[in-house]
Amino acid sequence: MKYIKSISRLPQLIITLSFHLSVWIIERFSNVKKYEEIVDKLNELERGTLGKDIAECLISNKLRLVPGYESHDLKHVLLDYKMTPVDEIRMQAFMIGNGNISVPSLAIFLYGFLLLPNKWRIFYGDFKQGLASQSIKSWQIEQYSKYYTADLRKRVVGSKNIELVMKTKLTKIALITSCMSMLLGGFGMLYCLPYLFSPVLEDLVGAGFPFLGGAILFAAGLLSFSVTNKKSGSINAYETVGT
């Protein structure tokens, strides 16, 4: 039984060691003193403010601001994700849904996604929450440190209609797919067109079927684009009325 528990904890241990190693490497090549002074100033702010909460969180967990990743700790506190391996992956799932699709975010999320398959449902829930929330990918500590955390959290998290957001995202994907279908179909038709006027029967037959396939692909894309574009218009109208 103890052996099974040890095996189940192994992925989280790997993630924890990886994060600590990454932070250690970054700190070795950065001016840590500067960031310690920032935390000291944040700790002087009024209780309940985001800056004060960030400072208290770092101090209680015996951590420091990671040079170049200060906004990372802002998001931890604002979104109420703890400084644990699982919550780190959960926060990255939220941020990807929130529009922060960067190499570090994707790398950290995929790392946790592969090592923690038993948490996939939780990660998906966080991703949807990110979709339904106001974008915070560009937020910086100096901009929001004096605002109250509870007010900011209420304003940001879950502030959008998730069903409407999902429909909008799917509509955009459908429009892009339709355009790609028309583009590929049109290219195939143009490529085969000269061969349709060839006196050689083999060229005529060989180009005829691809040309027909391209025409079908183009027509299907055009039809899909038209239908999806109408749906997109109705969704935008509903969103405008809702606001």
On the question of pLDDT at 37 being above 70, the answer is: yes
- Name the 3-class secondary structure at 56: helix
Flag whether the pTM goes above 0.75: no
> Could you report the per-residue pLDDT of 171-227, keeping only the tens digit for each?
777 888 889 999 999 999 998 988 888 888 778 778 888 899 999 999 998 888 888
Mean pLDDT (whole number) for 60-80: 86
Pair 105, 208 in one domain: no
**Lowest mean pLDDT: which of 6-10, 69-73, 207-211?**
6-10
- Name the 3-class secondary structure at 138: coil
Radius of gyration of the chain (CA): 26
Pair 149, 170 in one domain: no
Domain count, the chain: 2
Q: Which two tokens stand for residue 35?
A: 């960031």
User: Which of 156, 189, 224 delimits the end of a domain?
Assistant: 156
User: Cα-flanking dihedrals φ and ψ of residue 49, to 5°?
Assistant: -80, 160
Residue 77, pLDDT score: 95
Pair 135, 71 in one domain: yes
Pair 32, 97 in one domain: yes
User: The domain containing residue 191 runs over which residues?
Assistant: 162-242
Cα–Cα dist 65/36, whole Å? 7
Cα–Cα dist 113/15, whole Å? 11
Pair 98, 28 in one domain: yes
**Lowest mean pLDDT: which of 34-43, 158-167, 206-215?**
158-167
The contacts of residue 219 (CB under 8 Å, 6+ apart) are 185
**Lowest mean pLDDT: which of 60-69, 71-80, 186-195, 230-239?**
230-239
